[in-house]
């Protein structure tokens, strides 16, 4: 760890600044951090402390562009040192650093230019890398970013968007990787940031001085202790520093495995429209940030808290944010329930149609069997058939099974069969029938008296 750098975990308060910086360290594709606020709120201290917190990076020895082995060969950067691709390379480790971009910097200082000293002394064309070469895989810090020259803003936007910087000077043309964590600070009272640059920066944080008395006292004590004995003060927070560093490393490994469901994606799309966000960059930034927060929290799936925090960091503070998210979520759930209900209703209707068809077929079979039995009885004695039964038989063809209600239908008058059953039962049991008139069969049974 570096000496005389105030520990990141020793910073009191300013949780949003620290969280935004950590998230960009885990996932630089978020797009950087814009910190708005007054001077003296610990912005610069936090940025320098972050660089000291992060693990060392592996670079090719002698490469002025902080390149790893892959980019060293891909961009043919060995040619800068008059070497070939077959030459052996040595990989070394070096700590991450904070590269500050001064407001008065020229384009050549930022992009890179011809090395005038070598040109004059040795008569050769050599490249002098610019700030974008130094900041590759490091942190680019721009104080008062809202006062930066528009031409430099355009250069930074191109480098940030493509991750590549191209230098073309005096017959020299070379490209090199330029991937960095962009951190800009500004005081809104000194002017607004150019909209194009503000839109490209992923997270936007508004900070102010800490109002809690105990926290302000703690800040003074820690700062005094650090200035009196930096080594001892840093040692006190060594365990916390290592723990946070390991957490960042684990989150970087987990990030690509984090998932987000369709409901959360719809919440993101709706909330950006509701809050009037322009374009689609906000949606993409929220998506990346929410997955990064989930990885930092050791989640394999983005939950509601991860999503809400991401929206707050990207779109700024909104007191009604929680209510907005819950309302959108309920609307989505209600819609899904209605769609599910409609689907079930369709299945039910289909089943009911099949049942109706089956019932109609059964009724037709019953109709045929009943007609056959009644015709046979008519043949033996047509007078025994009641007129009402004939009407009931005709009604079978008019059965209506609508509205899913079953209707009890009397195909024949079953009272006649009950009387006959009673009569047969007495005979089968050997009972003596003294008076046939005791049995009221209303002439429906043809019983002969012997």
Neighbours of 96 (CB within 10 A): 19
First to last CA, the chain: 126
Number of Cα atoms under 13 Å in the Cβ half of residue 82? 3
Q: Is the dihedral of CA 240, 246, 252, 256 positive or negative?
A: negative
Q: What are phi and psi of 177, to 5 degrees?
A: -65, 145
What's the distance, CA 326 to chain centroid? Answer: 15
Per-residue 3-state assignment (H helix, E strand, C coil) for 60-112: ECCCCCCCCHHHHHHCCHHHHHCCCCCCCCCEEEECCCEEECCCCCCHHHHHE
Q: Closest Cα partner for 52 from 25, 92, 34?
A: 25
Helices 281-296, 238-254: inter-axial angle, 10-degree rounding: 120
Helices 238-254, 15-26: inter-axial angle, 10-degree rounding: 50
Q: Closest Cα partner for 206 from 46, 322, 50, 38?
A: 38
Q: Is 223 a catalytic residue?
A: no
> Which is catalytic among the residues 194, 247, 270, 281?
281
> How many whole angstroms separate alpha carbon 239 and alpha carbon 237?
6
- Collect all residues with Cβ–Cβ distance below 8 Å to 283 and sequence separation of at least 6: 268, 269, 272, 277
> How many whole angstroms separate alpha carbon 25 and alpha carbon 36?
19
Structure tokens at 435: 């008076």
Q: Which residue numbers are catalytic? A: 281
């Amino acid at each position: 760890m570096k000496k005389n750098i105030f520990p990141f975990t020793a910073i009191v308060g300013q949780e949003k600044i620290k969280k935004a910086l950590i998230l960009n360290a885990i996932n630089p594709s978020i797009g950087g951090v814009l910190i708005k606020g007054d001077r003296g709120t610990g912005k610069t201290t936090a940025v320098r402390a972050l660089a000291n917190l992060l693990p060392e990076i592996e670079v090719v020895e002698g490469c002025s562009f902080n390149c790893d082995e892959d980019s060293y060969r891909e961009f043919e950067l060995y040619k800068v040192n008059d070497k070939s691709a077959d030459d052996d390379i040595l990989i070394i480790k070096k700590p991450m650093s904070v590269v500050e971009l001064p407001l008065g910097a020229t384009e050549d200082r930022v992009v890179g230019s011809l090395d005038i000293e070598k040109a004059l002394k040795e008569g050769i064309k050599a490249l002098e890398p610019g700030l974008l070469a130094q900041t590759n895989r490091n942190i680019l810090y721009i104080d008062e970013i809202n006062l930066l020259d528009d031409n430099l803003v355009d250069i930074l936007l191109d480098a940030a968007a493509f991750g590549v910087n191209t230098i073309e000077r005096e017959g020299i043309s070379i490209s090199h990787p330029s991937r960095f964590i962009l951190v800009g600070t500004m005081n809104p009272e000194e002017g607004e940031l150019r909209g194009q640059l503000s839109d490209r920066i992923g997270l936007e944080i508004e900070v102010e001085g800490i109002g809690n008395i105990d926290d302000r006292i703690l800040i003074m004590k820690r700062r005094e202790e650090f200035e009196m004995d930096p080594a001892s003060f840093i040692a006190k927070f060594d365990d916390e520093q290592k723990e946070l560093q390991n957490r960042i490393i684990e989150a970087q490994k987990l990030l690509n495995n984090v998932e987000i469901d369709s409901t959360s994606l719809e919440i993101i799309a709706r909330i950006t429209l509701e809050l009037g966000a322009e374009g689609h960059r906000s949606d993409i930034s929220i998506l990346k940030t929410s997955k990064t927060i989930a990885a930092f929290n050791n989640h394999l799936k983005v939950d509601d808290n991860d999503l809400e925090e991401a929206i707050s960091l990207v779109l700024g503070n909104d007191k009604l944010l929680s209510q907005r998210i819950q309302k959108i979520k309920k609307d989505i759930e209600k819609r899904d329930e209605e769609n599910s209900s409609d689907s079930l209703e369709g299945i039910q209707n289909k089943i009911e149609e099949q049942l109706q068809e089956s019932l109609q077929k059964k009724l037709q079979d019953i109709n045929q069997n009943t007609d056959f039995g009644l015709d046979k009885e008519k043949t033996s004695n047509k007078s025994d058939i009641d007129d009402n039964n004939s009407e009931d038989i005709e009604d079978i063809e008019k059965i209506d099974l609508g509205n899913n209600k079953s209707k009890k239908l009397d195909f024949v008058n079953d009272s006649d069969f009950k009387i006959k059953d009673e009569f047969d039962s007495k005979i089968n049991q050997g009972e003596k029938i003294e008076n046939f008139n005791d049995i009221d069969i209303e002439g429906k049974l043809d019983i002969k008296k012997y």
